[in-house]
Structure 1
Amino acid sequence: MDTNQWQGAATRAELITKGHTPSEIRTALIGNTIRSLAPGIYASPALWNESMETRHGELSKATLRKLGGNYVLGAQSAAAVYGLPLWGVDPRVVHLVQPTNNSGTGSRNSKRIRIHRDARRTASLRIDGVLVSSPARAIVDLARRSSTASAVVTGDAALHRGLCTVTELLAELDVIAGFPGHPKARRAIAMMDARSESALESRSRVSMFDARLPLPTLQYEVLDAHGQFLARVDFAWVEHRVIGEADGVVKYKTDDVRSVLNREKYRADRIVEQGWRIVRWSSADLDTPRLVANRIRHALSQSRVA
């Protein structure tokens, strides 16, 4: 089977339409030339090397093509099609919206598909031949069905990239007043911020909120004694002279590690010289409950002592 003829995900019916026999499909699966994303849906080798979000987006579109009908991709499945980051959701499960004339909402679940019946006026776009919930509706639906951290990670990114506005999120929130999950969604949307630049930063803010830490200033510009720019940092508790840095791995993918570390050390030394304390953490640190919050709280208390 020549997988160069197709990209992304394809259904069994689509492969047969392209001229591949059931025997060829089985042989390709056995030889790992293609891989199964779900029953009757297959991924090309190129797709398997893509991000989880890209694979889920392609799986979602293929699922909708396979089912047909008047379904719309919703929640995290819609977010994945928009290229937004996902965190803390099951990428094997596709979320579909089924418009209905009946009042209220409901859902039908299977191992791989969640179908949410929805009486709201449809808010969707057509992307790659399938209907996808608007960014604002997808974020609100994700927020009412998933964890706060999951919603804020995706919602922050949508706001940061200009895919939706806070006003649009609040409008969608008003539409679901009285629906299950409305208070949960309202809490998550209140925490979303377009200034967040990574999933780790978004998760960090949720952790700070849950620990009832003072809210930091985001993307704060640190100046030297002469008012010259030194650095832009992820979080700053300005009155305490404490800085928080959520260290991801993206910057190490394109630069020499030693060069990055040297630049980071020089940057940190300059900041400390101006009387700031720096608290750093990684994604792994954030996975340990209260670890990062306790580090920040300790730094804040030390600044008060000083």
Structure 2
Amino acid sequence: MDIIPARPMLRADLRAQGVTGDEIDRARHAGRLTSVRPGAYLRSDDERLADPEARHALAARAAVRQHGAVDGAASHTSAAALHGLPLWRVPLVRSHLTRPGDSGGRRTTYLHLHRAELDADEIVLVDGVRVTSPARTVVDLARTLPFEQAVAIADAALHQKIVTTGELERAVARAGGARGLPAARRVVAFADGAADGPGESISRVRFARAGLPRPELQHVVLDAAGRFIAQVDFWWPGRAVVGEFDGKVKYERLLKPGQNASEVVYREKRREDAVRATGSPVIRWDWRDLDDFADVVTRLAALLTP
């Protein structure tokens, strides 16, 4: 097989270029070709296949071509993936499409076809693919996903400045009597674009559920002379308590050319020492702590209780 696609291609496209069905199957069995969804293929060494969210976006692109006709658009989780929004612990097996109409939706192993009207301004093009707008996408997911996952998506959309709070509020208002609107209102009211990543968003939800005071986000800590020391993830001004979520992505983002992770960890330790020197206690947690947040809550409550 001479044609190994660098972008998702449908079986019909490959056949139209002269590739036989047997050649496609042999390339798959040889590990040179990978199916991103039934009937859509990509070269197996494409690095996007190793990232679940990127792979979901690839599958969504193919699904729009297979099932979107001319009036449909990638929606829900598929739209979020194409917009580059985080899908923390969201199932990614099915591609989601929305097409106009009030009946005829269906759900199969690899496809969830939604039936709903889409106004012209609720559809945008992402690399040539019809996708629900960021506001419509966030509200659709806020109606249908658990609160934590929906908040992480809404926070990210605001943080990336692909949507505004006003646009989200208008998207909720125009959704009319759609199922799940009370949940969507709660998500939009809670969303905060200052949260820098899903770990911080999930932590915010856990604070609220534990009854802890709402912290300030991305607070700048200064020394006694007013000089910059650090920008911290969470700050409780009443007790001058600092909270820091440690994610692997954070350290990778802090790497400068020629640096390794150990240098960044050392620099972070110096930074934390400087924050502590101002009299502010620092509480840290990471992804593992999100599975059982009780210890973090206990440590924070001890510092925040008068």
TM-score, length basis structure 1: 0.91
| Residue identity in the other structure for 2:91 | D
SS in 1 for 2:81: helix
Per-residue Cα deviation, 1:160-205 (whole angstroms, up to 9, x for no partner): 1111111110001011243210011111111111111111111111
Moved more, 116-125 or 168-177: 116-125
| Residue identity in the other structure for 1:291 | D
Alignment of 1:79 with 2:99, yes or no, is no
Alignment of 1:221 with 2:220, yes or no, is yes
| Residue identity in the other structure for 1:153 | A
Q: Give unpaired runs (5+ residues) of structure 1.
A: none
Does the Cα contact within 8 Å between 1:52 and 1:91 map onto a contact in 2?
yes
Partner of 1:15: 14
Q: 1:212: how far off?
A: 1.9
| Residue identity in the other structure for 1:224 | D
Does the Cα contact within 8 Å between 1:96 and 1:116 map onto a contact in 2?
yes
220 and 246 in structure 1: CA distance in 2 versus 1, 3 angstrom threshold = same
Partner of 1:52: 52
RMSD: 1.9
Does the Cα contact within 8 Å between 1:221 and 1:230 map onto a contact in 2?
yes
Quote the Cα distance in structure 2 between the aligned partners of 1:39 and 1:119: 27
SS in 2 for 1:115: strand
Moved more, 8-17 or 249-258: 249-258
Moved more, 51-60 or 254-263: 254-263
Q: Which of 276, 279, 286 in structure 2 is aligned with 1:272? A: 276
Does the Cα contact within 8 Å between 1:47 and 1:55 map onto a contact in 2?
no
289 and 278 in structure 1: CA distance in 2 versus 1, 3 angstrom threshold = closer
Q: 1:289: how far off?
A: 4.4
Quote the Cα distance in structure 2 between the aligned partners of 1:248 and 1:61: 30
Partner of 2:111: 113
| Residue identity in the other structure for 1:202 | S
Where does 1:225-244 land on structure 2 (aligned, <5 Å)?
Answer: 225-244=224-243
Partner of 1:259: 263
SS in 2 for 1:42: strand
Does the Cα contact within 8 Å between 1:8 and 1:47 map onto a contact in 2?
no
TM-score, length basis structure 2: 0.91
Quote the Cα distance in structure 2 between the aligned partners of 1:49 and 1:16: 23
| Residue identity in the other structure for 1:90 | P
Alignment of 1:93 with 2:97, yes or no, is no
SS in 1 for 2:46: helix
Identity of aligned residues (%): 38
Quote the Cα distance in structure 2 between the aligned partners of 1:206 and 1:15: 47
SS in 1 for 2:247: coil
Quote the Cα distance in structure 2 between the aligned partners of 1:257 and 1:82: 29
| Residue identity in the other structure for 2:160 | R
Q: 1:47: how far off?
A: 4.5
Does the Cα contact within 8 Å between 2:218 and 2:234 map onto a contact in 1?
yes
Quote the Cα distance in structure 2 between the aligned partners of 1:149 and 1:2: 46
Moved more, 119-128 or 240-249: 119-128
Q: Give unpaired runs (5+ residues) of structure 2.
A: none
Per-residue Cα deviation, 1:16-55 (whole angstroms, up to 9, x for no partner): 2233211111111111111222221223221444522221
Q: 1:229: how far off?
A: 0.9
Q: 1:57: how far off?
A: 0.9
Partner of 1:62: 62
